[in-house]
Structure 1
Amino acid sequence: MAVPVAETVLGGVRMADGIVVPFAGPGAGAGDLTWGQEKVWTLMRQAGNSLSMGGAVPVTDGRTIRDLASELGFFMSRYASMRARIHQGTDGTLTQEVSGSGQAVLGIVDVADGDDPGPAARRLADQWEATPFDHAREWPIRMAAVRARGLVTHVVVTISHVATDGGGIAVMLEELSRRDPVTGQPKNPEPAMGPLELAALQRTPAGRRHSEASLRHWEGLLRSAGPLRFGPHTDRGEPRYRRAIFESRALHLASKAVAARTGGPASTVLLAGYAVAVARLTGITPALIQVVVSNRFRPGLAEISHPLSVNGLLMVDVAEASFDEVVNRTQRALALCSKYAYYDPTRLEELRARINRERGEVIELSCLFNDRRLGSDAKPTGPLPPRQELEAARGESVLSWGQPFPTYLDKLMVQVGAAMDTVELEVHVDTHHVSVDQVRALMVDFESLLVTAAFDPDLPTGVR
């Protein structure tokens, strides 16, 4: 039973009230991290933060403190990765310890009468995002209710990336929505494989063979790739690491039109367009792009909540071809990219270092693409919108710059957000390699390419 507590500290934030939430679940024990967790842990150490996910969400359905405490208890009991603490030995060895039972705390933030609770919720979300998790002592999920005049107005949730990823959050929210309304129990009483169980499977002979096959694919691409993705370093001052959002209804309409004609998903069309636009910007081809792949399509992994998304490597020749042909090439290359995106990340880094030594040059892998939309593989149908409508939609497109990053690990990454009836591209860039003006030109060219291709199946890429 949830019990009120007079004062609590969550994620470094002191709160006057809270609710102690007991939990119990399967999968307890200690052991290795999964490949996905290892990759995320390395990225977190490089970035200097927990790469956490979440935010402040308005509560408009009348949920109470008790309801939110029940949700936190569900997450903690159902998903072993939410009960995992990670310890690093003096030699760097990582171990995760999954608890079979324990207590979490739902924080409560009360807003004074007359004050807007929205800013208070966003401040808490920002504070939590900026505060790294103490993974050895803290549960990897923080959750709080924001209350005004006795009613819950917002819920704030922050989850460390080492405990889940975008696909894992989707699994958690789907199972939460399908709970029995009376008992609060999940429809499927058996939870998916926990992180300790998956880590053990990945270290079996069969798991190692799968990893080695993936690494052979990577090795073939790395040995044939040119070393550079972008031009030389140019100091353009600060802020160096920038974030932009490009919103385009025209890209949404055009990508669906090309996808309907070529018979593939719109996500592949966007990836092909990105490959062509980057090649036109840099003059470097074939395109070599790290693509974020969710491994939940693999047998037995669909309902797993802990991190499964890792980078696959895609190479596609965009030169001397029509755009439709590049879409077809991208579709074939993407199938291989996804097939071989399941590997031991430590062995991959060893492979990359060896190839760099043998070639006498560093093979850059700093161009990335991540389509975060759920259901983006659905094949679109419907008539091609009139050219006039598409051209008019281009006039609605907006490129806006957000808060810069204190540091960033790559030179260019484009993420496709889960917007409705538009394509929302989030661009992360190191401006000492790709300038602000080049980002703007890249987005304009990307959009123009797809809008033109929507009406011309023989459109050449213009890349030699």
Structure 2
Amino acid sequence: MPDLAADAAPPLVATLRLPVRFAAAGAGTGELSWGQRELWLTMRRQRSWLPIGGWSRLAPGTTLGDVESELRWILRRYPPMRTRLRYSGGRPLQTVADRGTVGLDVYDCPDGEDPEAFVIALDARDRARPFDLVEEWPVRMGVVRHRGAPTHLSTVLPHLVTDGLGGRIFLAEVADRTETDPGTPPLEQARWQASEAGRRQNASALRHWERVIARVPAASTVESGPYLRGEFRTTALPLAVHALSERADADSSQVLMTLLAMALPGDGPAVLRPMVSNRFRRGFERVVAMVAQRGLCAADVAGVPFAEALRRVGAAAMAAYKYAYVDPDAVAAAFARAGADPDAGLWCNDRRVASRQGFAGPVPSTEDVRAAPPGTFRWTVAQDDPFDPLSVDIDDDDDGDGGGLLLTVFTDAARLPAAAAEALVRRVETLAVEEVS
């Protein structure tokens, strides 16, 4: 989705384009890996190249040569940064180059303008521009100069390059030019997935999916749209989740998934589609690539106490995590055979960093939880291009006063109207506070 800031930005024309030549090992052409394939299908469904990346301030004294050197190092080390698509019979393949030239754009911010505002506008513009995954190298990098000195850098990538954790690994490695084992790149992943061992893995995972798909509602005949995006900021929820996690000796993600399951409307089993990091697999721990995939689980939580719901969701989620490493095309075929809704359930993504491994400070008391004000909600986007039908992303709230959570809800209003989607995330907070009390 284009960033609205791009519409108001002044024309941005590069002063010059520096050719950055690279050479690296690992060239070849092959199928997309399962992680890439799943992301590709998401891009097709959402009609977006799903830009990621961002802008940063450059250290004083940084030269254009320094930025060129960094870009050349990135292209050499990370195969997804030099991977483009080609088509065979309408099916996308990945083509990894062993040499090439990428343009590094340089922009001069006018003397009287704020270079930070300038790079924000540049970043928004590069996210909004269409992306040709066949012809373009998958990195748009632009340097902003102010009064002749490089001050800021914008780097925008298609999400096909890496998942969120891979992005954080990338930033850490670029900062100190890490030269440790980069892990198994997507082209090698795809070769293993096509092997006999890979086919066994897929068959095992698919049996799990077929068992859960049997509990999924039939395919929907409701027309889609509009698609809405809203933000719920809460300080009460993380306090309550901290307390509940300690009380039950349970992972906070399991607690949040349980609350989401209990908050879902309807009488049948709660169907959840968690985003799963497959980085526990050998060679994936530190790879900069797209290896996260959706899992599928279902749990009967209606009318049961929280402790029992926590147990049921935990068991179902564990299987979902184990079997998320699967061929997305085989999953789609399984849904079609069963006549089940491939968009069913709540798609959830726990993207927290600061509080994912543990909350800071002492365990909140019941009084602390009760004293926290209710969260605030606002709708931010309405569009015709689809999001996932019903999705909640969970982040540490960096824009608040600290210590809060941000729940971003996406909904197809034809399937779950705006009022019901807002009620869902508010219900998560209410259930958590009531359980602590």
TM-score scaled by length of structure 1: 0.85
Asked if 1 retains the 8 angstrom alpha-carbon contact of 2:226 and 2:414, the reply is yes
Deviations 1:390-438 (A, max 9, x none): 233224x322222333411432100012435211111111122222222
What residue is the counterpart of 1:205 in the other structure?
196
What residue is the counterpart of 1:241 in the other structure?
227
Deviation of the 1:37 alpha carbon = 1.1
- Distance change (3 Å), C-alpha of 1:58 and 1:437: farther
Secondary structure at the aligned position of 2:382 is classed as: coil
Which amino acid in structure 2 is aligned with residue 70 of structure 1?
Answer: S
What residue is the counterpart of 2:279 in the other structure?
296
Asked if 1 retains the 8 angstrom alpha-carbon contact of 2:241 and 2:252, the reply is yes
What residue is the counterpart of 1:99 in the other structure?
97
Corresponding residue to 1:447 among 426, 429, 435: 429
- Distance change (3 Å), C-alpha of 1:248 and 1:136: same
1:413 aligns with 2:395: no
Secondary structure at the aligned position of 2:275 is classed as: strand
Question: Using the alignment, how far apart are the partners of 1:71 and 1:125 within structure 2?
Answer: 19
- Distance change (3 Å), C-alpha of 1:207 and 1:56: same
What residue is the counterpart of 2:250 in the other structure?
264
Deviation of the 1:224 alpha carbon = 2.7
The CA RMSD measured in Å over matched residues stands at: 2.4
Deviation of the 1:25 alpha carbon = 2.0
Deviation of the 1:379 alpha carbon = 4.8
Moved more, 418-427 or 313-322: 418-427
Which amino acid in structure 2 is aligned with residue 171 of structure 1?
Answer: I
Deviation of the 1:374 alpha carbon = 3.5
What residue is the counterpart of 1:322 in the other structure?
305
What residue is the counterpart of 1:183 in the other structure?
none
Corresponding residue to 1:144 among 142, 145, 152: 142
Corresponding residue to 1:121 among 119, 122, 133: 119
The within-5 A match list for 1:326-341 is 326-341=309-324
- Distance change (3 Å), C-alpha of 1:13 and 1:140: farther
Deviation of the 1:291 alpha carbon = 0.9
What residue is the counterpart of 1:428 in the other structure?
410
Question: Using the alignment, how far apart are the partners of 1:60 and 1:427 within structure 2?
Answer: 36
Deviation of the 1:168 alpha carbon = 1.6
Which amino acid in structure 1 is aligned with residue 243 of structure 2?
Answer: A
1:20 aligns with 2:19: yes
Asked if 1 retains the 8 angstrom alpha-carbon contact of 2:332 and 2:342, the reply is no
Total equivalences in the alignment: 423
1:56 aligns with 2:55: yes
Secondary structure at the aligned position of 1:86 is classed as: strand
Deviation of the 1:228 alpha carbon = 7.6
1:305 aligns with 2:283: no
Secondary structure at the aligned position of 2:160 is classed as: coil
The within-5 A match list for 1:343-422 is 343-356=326-339, 362=341, 364-374=343-353, 377-380=356-359, 383-395=362-374, 397-419=375-397, 421-422=403-404
Question: Using the alignment, how far apart are the partners of 1:364 and 1:344 within structure 2?
Answer: 17
Question: Using the alignment, how far apart are the partners of 2:72 and 2:383 within structure 1?
Answer: 34
Asked if 1 retains the 8 angstrom alpha-carbon contact of 2:70 and 2:174, the reply is yes
What residue is the counterpart of 1:7 in the other structure?
none
Corresponding residue to 1:285 among 268, 272, 297: 268
Asked if 1 retains the 8 angstrom alpha-carbon contact of 2:259 and 2:432, the reply is yes
Deviation of the 1:113 alpha carbon = 1.2
What residue is the counterpart of 1:251 in the other structure?
237
Secondary structure at the aligned position of 2:383 is classed as: coil
Asked if 2 retains the 8 angstrom alpha-carbon contact of 1:87 and 1:95, the reply is yes
Secondary structure at the aligned position of 2:214 is classed as: helix
Deviation of the 1:366 alpha carbon = 4.6
1:155 aligns with 2:153: yes
Question: Using the alignment, how far apart are the partners of 2:342 and 2:17 within structure 1?
Answer: 51
Asked if 1 retains the 8 angstrom alpha-carbon contact of 2:270 and 2:300, the reply is yes
Which amino acid in structure 2 is aligned with residue 328 of structure 1?
Answer: R
What residue is the counterpart of 2:5 in the other structure?
none
- Distance change (3 Å), C-alpha of 1:33 and 1:270: same
Question: Using the alignment, how far apart are the partners of 1:63 and 1:400 within structure 2?
Answer: 40
Secondary structure at the aligned position of 2:295 is classed as: strand
1:36 aligns with 2:35: yes
1:274 aligns with 2:260: yes
- Distance change (3 Å), C-alpha of 1:95 and 1:441: closer
- Distance change (3 Å), C-alpha of 1:426 and 1:154: farther
Secondary structure at the aligned position of 1:162 is classed as: helix
Deviation of the 1:233 alpha carbon = 4.7
Deviation of the 1:288 alpha carbon = 0.5
- Distance change (3 Å), C-alpha of 1:364 and 1:110: closer
Which amino acid in structure 1 is aligned with residue 238 of structure 2?
Answer: H
- Distance change (3 Å), C-alpha of 1:150 and 1:69: same
Corresponding residue to 1:218 among 192, 209, 214: 209
Asked if 1 retains the 8 angstrom alpha-carbon contact of 2:231 and 2:378, the reply is yes
Deviation of the 1:117 alpha carbon = 2.5
- Distance change (3 Å), C-alpha of 1:406 and 1:320: closer
Asked if 2 retains the 8 angstrom alpha-carbon contact of 1:263 and 1:379, the reply is no
Which amino acid in structure 2 is aligned with residue 245 of structure 1?
Answer: E
Asked if 2 retains the 8 angstrom alpha-carbon contact of 1:260 and 1:379, the reply is no
Gaps in structure 1 of 5+ consecutive residues:
1-11, 180-185, 456-464
